[in-house]
Amino acid sequence: MEKNPKILVTGGGGLLAHALARLQNRDWDWLFFSHKDFDLLNGNQMAEQLDKHKPLVVINTAAYNLVDRCEVERDFSWAVNAQAPAELARLCALRQIRLVHYGTDYVFDGSKKAPYLETDAPAPLNHYAEGKLAGERAVLKADPAHLVLRTSWIFDWHPTQSKTFVHTILKAAREGRRLQATTDQVSVPTHASDLAGWTLALIQNQAHGLFHAVNDEGVSRFQWTQAILDESASLGLIPSIPSVEPVLSSHFNATMRRPDYTVLSNSALSRQLGRPLGSWRSGLRKMLATMK
């Protein structure tokens, strides 16, 4: 009997990797690697694992995502987010393995105030975004068969991660703490399960190049927070809906610059897949129902 082709997934403990595992797709043999067993900072180990397992596709979900820490740990974050994807892309290209990699909405500076297209020029405002942009560019340069999906505000249920934005809001509401959320930071919450499904469909379509991969509808942090509270209350996860104070980003005196408007247009991806990409609200309901 012919064996299934293999997909090797890095960052196996992360949010998106867990959503890929939950697809339970049987057309492929899925190999999930933890940080320890496939370390992006260890080129020899990566090469050995690729040669041992011979995947047809690698999905790189691993990254250093602590945006504020990237500003301080500049060399380390650059190594993980810029140099390591370049090396992985090179190793994959040498072996004719297709690489799928993820970028961020933060590559834009927010000045457009209309959904960003794949053809819009990036203008990163902080070190995290600069590193992620260098990483995605290196991946696309290494092999035209590679694929980069830029995404934003990923959320989903996860067996151990309990510090996502949704968890934080729920916890604060349950503990009766005061809630504040910004009205001037606008992006698109994206359900990791949806992103996982689009990733697999694109692999099966042999898609390559750059796509913006987000759910429908940009919202402010304030609107996103209210939606989390509304949906949680309707499922009985919180006893009542607390009030949320709308504030501006300047209220938090952050030293790091963040773009205020980073809504990505998902039209190109929607055309490629031949279907709408679905709303974050329906993803949120699924996540909360699972948590219940």
Which spans of this chain sit near ligand NAP (rule: CB under 6 A)?
10-11, 13-16, 35, 38-41, 61-65, 80, 102, 104, 151-154
| Angle between helical axes of 280-291 and 221-234 (0-180°, round to 10) | 50
By beta-carbon distance, which residue lies closest to ligand NAP? 14
Q: Quick one: 14 or 124, whose CB is closer to ligand NAP?
A: 14
Q: Which residues contact 50 (CB under 8 A, 6 or more apart)?
A: 8, 58, 91, 92, 95, 97
Q: CA 74, CA 81: separation in Å to the nearest integer?
A: 10
Q: Quick one: 11 or 231, whose CB is closer to ligand NAP?
A: 11
| Shortest Å, Cβ 230 to ligand NAP | 21
Q: CA 60, CA 100: separation in Å to the nearest integer?
A: 6
Contact 53, 2 (CB under 8 A): no
Over its C-alpha atoms, the chain yields an Rg (Å, rounded) of 19
Q: Quick one: 16 or 238, whose CB is closer to ligand NAP?
A: 16
| Shortest Å, Cβ 176 to ligand NAP | 27
Q: Cβ of 178: how many Cβ atoms within 10 Å?
A: 9
Q: Quick one: 46 or 244, whose CB is closer to ligand NAP?
A: 46
| Shortest Å, Cβ 241 to ligand NAP | 24
| Shortest Å, Cβ 155 to ligand NAP | 7
